[in-house]
């Protein structure tokens, strides 16, 4: 589920998987999930504002 959110975020920002920016986005997605956010659409919307 989190991987799908990451790939959407990367595609929207035109970033490659191995980039530094991709790593930062992945970390943010993981933190959101660890803090209780389980809905992929909610995580996606939160990522769009970052």
Question: What pLDDT does residue 7 have?
Answer: 93
Residue 18, token pair as written in the block: 């191995």
pLDDT (0 to 100) of residue 48: 84
> Which residue range(s) make up the domain with 7?
2-48
CB 7, CB 14: distance < 8 Å: no
Q: Is the pLDDT reported for residue 50 higher than 80?
A: no
State how many domains the chain has.
1
Which structure tokens are listed for 43? 């995580």
Alpha carbons 50 and 12: distance in angstroms, whole number: 12
Average per-residue pLDDT for the chain: 93
The CA radius of gyration of the chain, in Å to the nearest whole number, is 10
Q: In 1-50, which residue ranges form alpha helices assigned H by DSSP?
A: 2-13, 20-34, 40-48
Q: pTM here?
A: 0.85
């Amino acid at each position: 589920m989190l991987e799908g959110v990451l790939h959407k975020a990367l595609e929207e920002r035109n970033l490659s998987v191995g980039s530094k920016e991709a790593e930062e986005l992945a970390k943010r997605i993981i933190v959101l999930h660890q803090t209780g956010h389980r809905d992929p659409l909610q995580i996606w919307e939160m990522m769009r504002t970052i």
